[in-house]
Structures are given as structure tokens and as C-alpha cells.
Amino acid sequence: MYADIKWYRNVYKGGFKGERGELLSFLGRACDVVDALTHGRARARWEGLTEFQQETVKRAVCLMVDHFAGLDGASGLVESYSIGDMRVWNRRGRSEKPWDVAGCGFLAWTTLMKSGLMCGVV
């Protein structure tokens, strides 16, 4: 596991307050997504990664946990909203954004991209 409960709570300072077992489940799922998005590069090269890359992967995992738990604001059920005369529609289930397709959230996706391990992922 790239980031454990201690790292999530003490370093990242994550907001998930649920049961330990549920947090472990989210962490495991996030690690699986990282493995898929990096085509196993993160796991295969972990010891050879720079400190920056390792920290970036850990942070991406924690951001995914927050996304899975609905703590990033992106998991709501809002279908549309208006600001003044502008109306925005959310076409749930029809997103072509890669972070939505992967189910990991925009912040986790862009954070993991910084690691340089997602080459060729679209």
C-alpha cells in the first residue's frame, strides 16, 4: 500500500472519519487505481522513485480516498446549477473526462500526473 492510515491521517491530514476498515478499503482501492493508471510503474519502480514521486503518489492515493468518501465535493448529486444568467448541466454517466472515467477525481488525477508515472494514459 502506497499510503497507510497513519500517513493519511497524520501527514495528509485527511478528513475521512469513518471506520478503520472502511478507510483501509478506500486506501486499497486507491492503490489499485494508481496501479492501473501507471500501468504498474509505481509499484515496480517504487524503491527507485524520487522522494517527490513517492510523496506525489501517496498524496494522490489520499486524494482518491477523499474522492471515494465524497469529501472533495465532486461526488454530489447536483445535476445542474446556475450562476446569474449562466446555467451549467452535469451530464452524469456521460463524462469523457479521464478522471471521471477512472473514478479517481480531478485533484487525484492531476496530482498523480505530476509523478511522471502516467505516461501514455489518456
Find the length of the chain: 122
Residue 82: the pLDDT is 54
Contact in structure between 12 and 55 (CB atoms under 8 Å) = no
Confidence category of residue 86, pLDDT binned at 50, 70, 90: low
Report which secondary-structure segment, H or E, holds 27.
helix 20-37
Question: Given a cut of 90, is residue 120 above it in pLDDT?
Answer: no
Grid coordinates given for 116: 511522471
Residue 102: the pLDDT is 80
DSSP letter for each residue of 41-103: HHHHTGGGS-HHHHHHHHHHHHHHHHHHTTTTS-SS---EEEETTEEEE--TT----HHHHHT
Contact in structure between 54 and 3 (CB atoms under 8 Å) = no
Q: Name the pTM for this structure.
A: 0.78
For residues 40 and 97, the model is more confident at: 40
Chain centroid to Cα 61, Å, comes to 5
Question: Given a cut of 60, is residue 21 above it in pLDDT?
Answer: yes
80 - beta bridge partners?
89
Question: Given a cut of 90, is residue 24 above it in pLDDT?
Answer: yes
Residue 78: the pLDDT is 43
36-40, 42-46, 103-107 — which is least confidently predicted?
103-107
